[in-house]
Structure 1
Amino acid sequence: MRDMARMVLVLTTVCVVAALGLAKVYDLTEEPIRQALREELLRGVRAVLPPFDNAPDQDARVVNGRTYYVGRKGGRVVGAAFEAASPEGYGGWIRALVGVDREGRVTGVVILQHAETPGLGAKAADPGYLAQFRGKSLRSANWAVKKDGGDFDQITGATITPRALVKAIREALEAFEAAKSQIFTPGGEG
């Protein structure tokens, strides 16, 4: 019985020391990880919005569960960035960050995550491919790939990926249009 009590005591001590060690590592790494994630977000926002001089993550608005990162220059709203996502990619989820100006025209798109086939569907992440979305709005384009009668290029041998991306961007733009009055207030103070 004494051996059993000693084993429980040793095991408890090991568990407490391990838990304290993990807690200390968490404390030491929490802030650097948070800062790295913030910088990654801001890099993406800078890539899709016109130049801004504020901190869009601090001016973010959440409308209907979707986060809009509002960019300002000299106090005037220049646009918003938000996520477009679809589970319908060939390799699963495709997540993109879309930037729009005050009128809802796309100012940029970057891919945040995908699991598409290298050399095929992964070409949807190429800046040259993504450039075709710039300047388009919900009403100025037919949001489908050309193979389906739309305005956007598909990728030879990988139509599923562009279909999913175009659909995700269209749905995100529809959500933006529905929420625009809550994101951008009158007078440009957004």
Structure 2
Amino acid sequence: MLETIYKNAVTLAIFSIFTTGLTAVVNDITKPIIARNIALKQKHLLNQVMNLDLYDNQTQLECYFVTDPALGNTTPHHLYLARKGDQISATALETTVPDGYAGVIQMLVGADFHGKVLGVRVIEHHETPGLGDKIDLSISNWINSFNGKVIQSADDKSFAVKKDGGDFDQFTGATITPRAVINATKRTALLIETLRDKLSLLPECGDTHE
């Protein structure tokens, strides 16, 4: 009996060691692949919200952290800078939409320092299929309505759904979601306008925030 228990314990120990080692090997193999895929997806999104013609530092965009309530919460958000030669030509700033119909929405807003929105993309959402999910480019082109729009001021009435007197279409049966996305885009673009003279004060990506 004791011999059987001992053999089973040894077998179990060997199996545990083997599976642990195999898991470690698989993790080492897949980790760089996952990281590369994430980087490619991020680059693809950045290229969509900042026209490729606007910058020539595509392989290594400067990255900083921005923390401001205008971004939907007090979590640090990534700010990416595009340069054409020595001049900053565009930015892309992550932002959070706290008041989506089905919960929090994560976005990336591309803009210059003069209130012009270059592009917007939704990174993550939980909106209802067939209603609020039209903010997703794979479902609808609605998100492209922001391309080239210029925000004149915080009181710019055009940055609203048509139901509220603005320029943007609302969704049939779903006004809360597009209204929230429009307001978040407006707040983010206005914040970007204020950042040019504050860049030296912002922590760089790779600091202790990550």
| TM-score normalised by L of structure 1 | 0.82
Identity of aligned residues (%): 32
Q: Which residue of 2 aligns with 1:136?
A: 150
In the superposition, relative to structure 1, how do residues 106 and 183 fare at CA in structure 2: closer, same or farther (>3 Å)? farther
Partner of residue 195 from structure 2, selected from 170, 179, 186: 179
Over the residues paired in the alignment, what is the CA RMSD in angstroms?
2.6
CA distance in 1 between partners of 2:193 and 2:9 (Å): 61
CA distance in 1 between partners of 2:96 and 2:152 (Å): 16
CA distance in 2 between partners of 1:62 and 1:138 (Å): 25
Q: Which residue of 2 aligns with 1:53?
A: 56
CA distance in 1 between partners of 2:132 and 2:38 (Å): 26
Deviations 1:7-60 (A, max 9, x none): 332222212111111111111111121111111111111111132211375411
Q: Which residue of 2 aligns with 1:162?
A: 178
Partner of residue 70 from structure 1, selected from 81, 89, 93: 81
Q: Which residue of 2 aligns with 1:28?
A: 29
Preserved CA contact (<8 Å) 1:45 1:81: yes
Stretches of structure 1 lacking an aligned partner (at least 5 in a row) = 186-190
Q: Which residue of 2 aligns with 1:125?
A: 136
Q: Residue 61 of structure 1 aligns to which amino acid in structure 2? A: Y
Stretches of structure 2 lacking an aligned partner (at least 5 in a row) = 68-75, 202-210
Deviations 1:56-88 (A, max 9, x none): 754111132221111112232111111222243
Q: Residue 113 of structure 1 aligns to which amino acid in structure 2? A: E
In the superposition, relative to structure 1, how do residues 178 and 74 fare at CA in structure 2: closer, same or farther (>3 Å)? closer
CA distance in 1 between partners of 2:111 and 2:177 (Å): 22
1:32 partner SS: helix
Q: Residue 103 of structure 1 aligns to which amino acid in structure 2? A: H
Q: Residue 145 of structure 1 aligns to which amino acid in structure 2? A: V
Deviation at 1:149, TM superposition (A): 4.6
Deviation at 1:107, TM superposition (A): 0.7
Deviation at 1:92, TM superposition (A): 2.7
CA distance in 1 between partners of 2:109 and 2:198 (Å): 18
CA distance in 2 between partners of 1:71 and 1:56 (Å): 10
2:163 partner SS: helix
CA distance in 1 between partners of 2:167 and 2:8 (Å): 70
| TM-score normalised by L of structure 2 | 0.75
Deviations 1:95-132 (A, max 9, x none): 22110013232111122222323332222234642233
CA distance in 1 between partners of 2:59 and 2:86 (Å): 12
In the superposition, relative to structure 1, how do residues 95 and 6 fare at CA in structure 2: closer, same or farther (>3 Å)? same
Preserved CA contact (<8 Å) 2:102 2:128: yes
CA distance in 1 between partners of 2:10 and 2:192 (Å): 58
CA distance in 2 between partners of 1:14 and 1:93 (Å): 43
CA distance in 2 between partners of 1:9 and 1:173 (Å): 63
Q: Which residue of 1 aligns with 2:204?
A: none
